[in-house]
Amino acid sequence: MAQLTDGVELCGRRGQSRVMFGPHETNLGRGRGLSRHHRTYYERRARGGAGIIVTEAASVHELDWPYERAPLAECCGPGWADVVAACRSHGALVLAGLTHAGNQGSSAYSQAAMWGASRVADVVSRELPMEMAQAEVDELRAGFVASTRTAVAADVDGVEIDAGPRSLLRQFLSALTNQRGDRYGTDRVALLREVLADVRTALGPGRILSLRLSCDELAPWAGIVPEHAARFVDELADLLDLLVVVRGGPYASGADRPDGHMPPGFNWELCSAMRAAARGRTCIALQGSVVDADMAQASLDSGIADIVEMTRAQIADAELVDKVRAGRAASVRPCILCNQACRVRDSRNPIVSCVADPGSGHESSDCVPASPSAVPRQVLVVGGGPAGLECSRVLAERGHSVRLAESSTRLGGALRAAARGVARERMARLADWMEAECRRLGAQIETGCAVTAAELDAAAARGDAIVLATGSRPAARFAPVVNGVAVRDVLAMFVDGVETLPAGRVVVYDPIGGPVGIAAAEWLASVGRHVAIVTPDLICGRMLAMTGDLADANTRLQRIGVARELRSVLREVRNGQLLLEDIWTGEQREIPCDVLVDAGHRIAEDALYEARPGMLRAGDAVTPRGILEAVLEGRRRAQDVESWRI
């Protein structure tokens, strides 16, 4: 284990860092192999200072096909070799992730029965697996061995075996999913012990064997709890070089990557317990929303961990380690723990990315050149929301002379407004970072400055490039509405105090099902207001399924007493009553309302564009959407200015 333990601290001056870029789904694959996009994606993190890269976990058996672009180990040899060649020159170790999803997979792609420790249906898909007989167990072990040999032939530095929240090996460890009567049931750690021994032999000397182990399934009635995990670690430590401590299971499959409602570093105590159980026989990696350099360094300084995994933080800023080492920690692009673009296991099959850095996942095609522009330009950016800030930042970084004009007294726009409410405070860090970078790079920033059509004409006459990022405005759907308030205005009261909101019963109308309506309802209920939320969906916050917060959000609403009016649309507002209509039956009913909070779609603030059509637009000024689209369009308009496409 000298390769791991001899590295320097996160903030060390030279040598290999002890920061890991962990395995995660990317949807970057081609067929069932790793693609050139994987290579550039991982190389960027290695170049930025990551000490260990663990590739997207590959299935060890062809019938395990948990998502459409899931890698298959037997197809990954060339891809692993490319990643090794790209990352090793930057001093990073590359571990090949190996897995089998078991009953948490899908038969949609393989068209074959899923394997399981027992006939226990997955709590999400409800699909029933076949119970593995000895023949299938032998096939599984052989699959791990063959996959390891393929990885060794690609010259990886080691492999990581997945016994985490979505893995068959964890399912054998847990009484939730293992109800067998044979030796794999009476000794639930037996299969994992055999697989690790097999893989250790197949690896040969000089290569790393890592285990990603769920040490708490968050289902204490029958699942793995820390006391069980400590016994597993004590038994297996001598076989391992590295143990990555995670949590989660069938009832909490996203617990290893929760959003901002879970505090960063939530596995600190769990990791400490597993370190004690290992008794110094293997290195320990801390995982669990470690997104700030200070916390990462503290975990290393305290001896809690030998390695710290900072996956989402390095998706947000691939240069995190190098920036910290160079004393530029303040310039690290923050991870806001929103899960809006880095979670890709949904029906859209998106490519992994980040709202803070849309170039993540698109390194082969969308990175802004590092060298300054050969032909600097004068640029006027109108609007200081995320689109305008990103456009200004990129242009200033490229050496252009940028004037950013914002009509309000503060930069950040919708992003600043959205950074209010329960567990959403981290979103403000992205607005702060964008503003600080614009100022550092020399952009001229003017707040309280409302640009007129005449000023646009004057700028155009001078030959300035102009980008309109003027944002959006309320749609005013329900007029006349007594005490009707836009949800952004409600969230702005988070700072001033709820006293600025009219008294009485509050109804949040959320036809979108996004996070903003939920945040407003949670905050208002938490400060003592009587709140109901109206949605046309069967569950509140339907879009939160993409970020992993759907079930938790509805649980929180129920606990704090928010009434939920489901599958309902708002038809009329009259005399302190809302007329709702059931979208299935057409039945109408009234509910009392003193304050109506509109969390529906906004409309573009396009008055300047209508006055001077043809100018470049970005973000909500095109049509209101999310942070990712705003930042991405701001970057693209900067590239349009750069290439003289105006």
Q: Tokens at residue 383, please? A: 């609007």
Nearest to 543 by CA among 562, 569, 519: 519
HSE-CB at 51 with a 13 A cutoff on CA atoms is 25
Mean pLDDT of the chain: 92
Q: CA 189, 195, 196, 202: dihedral to nearest 10 degrees?
A: 170
Q: What is the pLDDT of residue 12?
A: 34
pLDDT in tens, 351-385: 999 999 999 999 988 655 656 776 899 999 999 99
Return the DSSP state at 331: G
Query: DSSP string of 378-390?
Result: EEEEE--SHHHHH
- DSSP element (H, E) containing 234: helix 226-236
Outline where 154-189 has alpha helix (H): 168-173, 183-186
Instruction: Identify the CATH class of 2-331.
Output: alpha beta
Whether the upstream peptide bond of residue 386 has omega within 30° of 0, thus cis, is no
**Domain locations along the chain:** 2-331, 378-473+604-642, 484-601
**pLDDT less than 50: residues of the chain:** 1-14
Distance CA 299, CA 272 (A): 10
Distance CA 198, CA 128 (A): 29
Q: What is the pLDDT of residue 2?
A: 32
CB atoms within 10 A of CB 442: 12
Distance CA 570, CA 509 (A): 8
Instruction: Identify the CATH class of 484-601.
Output: alpha beta
User: Pairing state of beta strands 568-574 and 577-582?
Assistant: antiparallel
Q: Tokens at residue 226, please? A: 């820390």
Given CA atoms 487, 555, 345, 83 in this order, what sign does their dihedral have? positive
How many Å from the N-terminal Cα to the C-terminal Cα in the chain?
A: 56
pLDDT in tens, 11-58: 333 357 999 999 999 999 999 999 999 999 999 999 999 999 999 999
Q: What is the pLDDT of residue 478?
A: 66
> For residue 380, which amino acid is it?
L
User: Pairing state of beta strands 19-21 and 307-309?
Assistant: parallel
How far apart, in Å, are the Cα atoms of 449 and each of 370, 405, 432?
31, 6, 19
Q: What is the pLDDT of residue 14?
A: 38
pLDDT in tens, 238-251: 999 999 999 999 99
Q: What is the pLDDT of residue 480?
A: 57
Q: What's the fold here for domain 378-473+604-642? A: Rossmann fold (3.40.50)
Q: What is the pLDDT of residue 73?
A: 98
Q: What is the pLDDT of residue 408?
A: 93
- Collapsed DSSP state (helix, strand, coil) of residue 273: helix
HSE-CB at 472 with a 13 A cutoff on CA atoms is 27
The CA angle 377-378-383, to the nearest 5 degrees, is 125
Q: Tokens at residue 210, please? A: 């890592």
Distance CA 518, CA 542 (A): 10
Q: Tokens at residue 23, please? A: 């395995």
User: Pairing state of beta strands 93-99 and 283-286?
Assistant: unpaired
Residue with tokens 């990885």: 151
